[in-house]
C-alpha cells in the first residue's frame, strides 16, 4: 500500500496566506482573522477580501484553516466571558466559512477553581447547539490549568460526552497539539490512540516541540528537534494521526521548511 502523503503547513500572517504557503512549499496554512486577544471580531487583511482569498486559495490548491482568538472560552460560568465568547465563535465560524476554510480551531477553555467542571462540559454542549456551524469546528487540547476542559484525557472525554448530545455535533472535530499534550502531561506514545478512542479521529495535528518539561503546564512552542519532545515521538504522532499538520513553530519560511523536512525525513 502506498504511503499516505504528508500534508504539511504552518501558522502564518493573514495578510497574504497564499504567498506564505508558496514560500514554504506548504499544502495548507493556518492564521488568525483579527486580533487573537480581542473581542472586536474577525477582519480580513487580504487585498482581495474574503471572496478573493477563497478564489485564490482554491486556484493555488492551498487549504486554509482559521484559528479562533485565544480568549474564546465558551466553557466558563462567567457570563461576561461566555456570552461574548459565543458571539465571537459564531463570527469566526461565519468568517472562516466565507473564505472556504477547512476548519476553525478553538481552544477548550476552562472553568474557575470553585466551579463544578460539569457546568463547563454542559456549557460546551450549549455552545455547539447555539452556534450555526457552517464548517468543521476543531476543539484543541490545551497545556495548562487544573480547571481546563481539554488538558487531561478524562476531561476531553467528558466534553465529548456532552457535545455528542448536541444538534450540530456532526460538525465538531479534534485538533491535537503535541506541545500542549506533552506539557499537559499526556503520553505522546499513546495519545493518538487515546484521543481516537474518545473522538473517533484526529482532524488536524499542531506539530510543535516544547520548550518545557513533560507535565509542566507551560504552553511554549519551539522548532521541531529543539525542545524537550523526543523526535521519534513527534513523528509517531503525525504518522498515527494520519491528519493534516500545522507547525505553529517560531520563525518564517526558512524555519518552517526545516520543520517540514524534519517530519518528512522521519515519518
Cα–Cα distance, 226 to 229 (Å, whole number): 8
Does 264 reside within a domain? no
Q: pLDDT grade, residue 5 (50/70/90)?
A: confident
Q: pLDDT grade, residue 1 (50/70/90)?
A: very low
Look up the CATH number of the domain holding residue 37.
Answer: 3.20.20.150
Judge whether residue 81 has pLDDT over 50: yes
The per-residue pLDDT for 174 is 98
What's the mean pLDDT in 37-52? 96
Judge whether residue 38 has pLDDT over 80: yes
Task: List the Cα angle 13/19/21 in 5-degree steps.
Answer: 75
Does 3 reside within a domain? no
Q: pLDDT grade, residue 145 (50/70/90)?
A: confident
Q: Model pTM greater than 0.85?
A: yes
Does 263 reside within a domain? no
The per-residue pLDDT for 3 is 52
Does 262 reside within a domain? no
Judge whether residue 161 has pLDDT over 70: yes
Q: pLDDT grade, residue 146 (50/70/90)?
A: confident
Judge whether residue 2 has pLDDT over 70: no
Neighbours of 113 (CB within 10 A): 8
Per the listing, cell 461576561 goes with 80
Contact predicate 154/197, CB 8 Å: no
- Give the count of domains, the chain: 1
Full domain range(s) for residue 99: 8-250
Percentage of residues of the chain with pLDDT beyond 90: 97
Percentage of residues of the chain with pLDDT beyond 70: 99
In the chain, which residue ranges form alpha helices assigned H by DSSP?
17-24, 49-60, 79-98, 117-130, 153-163, 178-183, 191-199, 231-241, 253-266
pLDDT by residue (tens digit) across 100-129?
A: 999 999 999 999 999 999 999 999 999 999
Does 1 reside within a domain? no
Amino acid at each position: 500500500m502506498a504511503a499516505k502523503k504528508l500534508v504539511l503547513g504552518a501558522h502564518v500572517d493573514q495578510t497574504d496566506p497564499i504567498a506564505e504557503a508558496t514560500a514554504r512549499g506548504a499544502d495548507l496554512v493556518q492564521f488568525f482573522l483579527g486580533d487573537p486577544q480581542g473581542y472586536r471580531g474577525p477582519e480580513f487583511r487580504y487585498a482581495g477580501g474574503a471572496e478573493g482569498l477563497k478564489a485564490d486559495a482554491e486556484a493555488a490548491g492551498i487549504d486554509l484553516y482559521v484559528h479562533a482568538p485565544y480568549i474564546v472560552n465558551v466553557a466558563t460560568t462567567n457570563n461576561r466571558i461566555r456570552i461574548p465568547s459565543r458571539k465571537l465563535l459564531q463570527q469566526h465560524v461565519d468568517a472562516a466559512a466565507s473564505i472556504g476554510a477547512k476548519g476553525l480551531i478553538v481552544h477548550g477553555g476552562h472553568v474557575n477553581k470553585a466551579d463544578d467542571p460539569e457546568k463547563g462540559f454542559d456549557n460546551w454542549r450549549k455552545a455547539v447547539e447555539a452556534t450555526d456551524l457552517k464548517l468543521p469546528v476543531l476543539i484543541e487540547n490545551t497545556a495548562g490549568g487544573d480547571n481546563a476542559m481539554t488538558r487531561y484525557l478524562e476531561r476531553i472525554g467528558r466534553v465529548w460526552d456532552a457535545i455528542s448530545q448536541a444538534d450540530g455535533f456532526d460538525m465538531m472535530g479534534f485538533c491535537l497539539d503535541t506541545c500542549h499534550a506533552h506539557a499537559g502531561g499526556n503520553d505522546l506514545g499513546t495519545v493518538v490512540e487515546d484521543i481516537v478512542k474518545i473522538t473517533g479521529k484526529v482532524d488536524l495535528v499542531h506539530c510543535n516541540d516544547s520548550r518545557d518539561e513533560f507535565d509542566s503546564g507551560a504552553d511554549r512552542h519551539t522548532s521541531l528537534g529543539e525542545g524537550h519532545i523526543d523526535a521519534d515521538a513527534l513523528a509517531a504522532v503525525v504518522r498515527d494521526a494520519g491528519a493534516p499538520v500545522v507547525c505553529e513553530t517560531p520563525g518564517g519560511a526558512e524555519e518552517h521548511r526545516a520543520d517540514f523536512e524534519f517530519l518528512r525525513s522521519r515519518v
